[in-house]
Amino acid sequence: MGRRNKKGDPVHGWINLDKPLGMTSTQAVGKVRRLLNAQKVGHAGTLDPLASGILPIALGEATKTIPFVQDDIKTYEFTVIWGEQRDTDDAEGDVIDTSDTRPSECEIKEILPSFTGEIEQTPPRFSAIKINGQRAYDLARDGKDVEIKSRHVYIAELALLSTEQDKAHFVMTCGKGTYVRSLGRDMALKLGTVGYIGALRRIKVGCFTQDNAISLDNLEKMDYVSARNEALLPLQTVLDDIPALALTEEETSKLRHGQSLGFTSRPDFTRLQNVGLGTKECQTALVCFQNEPVALVDQVRAEIKPVRVFNLK
């Protein structure tokens, strides 16, 4: 094993981390950065300390592909505790209301359709939403009144897994910006009671699932060379759903220097069509040279324009 660079190395790719309970997403990212001795890291979708599960972490040039994961569909398993409302809408907060009402399994199933599809939702007071430049959770902790505007979110599926006397277990698949804490709070109110999220686990983010995730404990057992070889996923892992176009060496050089490429001749335009480009007026694509990612580009009619050029050296 070579000498460790104190400033970190240019490591590029993704770590599909199974974040443990009790750790912030920022702390988890810092751990991964140190364990892989990477210069640059970022993550796609924050998990609260009281939540566990899939936290996709991008390293190096893979940080340029984070938007493709942030906008992807996510799946959660969660538990709603009936009978208490907390100011944080999870187990960490103070009790602000109570109720003796406990919904039946039939009653719970009846309300699920009203929380499926595009719904209106108000984020929790203790959230990272910005209000006049300040985080809502900072204002809430200072005891200030927090007025958060409702927003439209998308819930593709919501199902009841099981029920107990004071709790119910659910699984949900949803789009970007959906707050599970808000969902639990609102379902309880719809059922004529109050409630909060007692447990939360994210089991899927786009192509990242718990089946191919690595725990922090297992990652910590590896040295940084082994971690890069065994746990690091390619940068293009999150780009499987967009067209990929192979470039020539000359085209690659032009693109790396910020130049656009024209595909106006019939043979060149056929190259676009063969990989699914050219059917729409504007499309995002990945371009490669010798199977190595070169850039994210916009295909506008018969022209390729660089958007994010990768420096993998």
Strands (E), 11-66: 13-19, 41-43, 51-59
Q: Select from 277, 60, 101, 79 the least CA-distant residue to 190.
A: 101
Catalytic amino acids? Answer: 48
SS3 of residue 94 by DSSP: coil
Residue written as token pair 């907390």: 86
| Integer Cα distance of 240 and 117 in angstroms | 26
Q: Select from 45, 44, 46, 54 the least CA-distant residue to 20.
A: 54
Q: Select from 211, 207, 186, 209 the least CA-distant residue to 196.
A: 186
Tokens of 196: 């909060």
Task: State the DSSP string of 198-218.
Answer: EEEEEEEETTEEGGG-EEHHH
Task: State the DSSP string of 220-244.
Answer: HTS-HHHHHHHTPBPGGGGGTTS-E
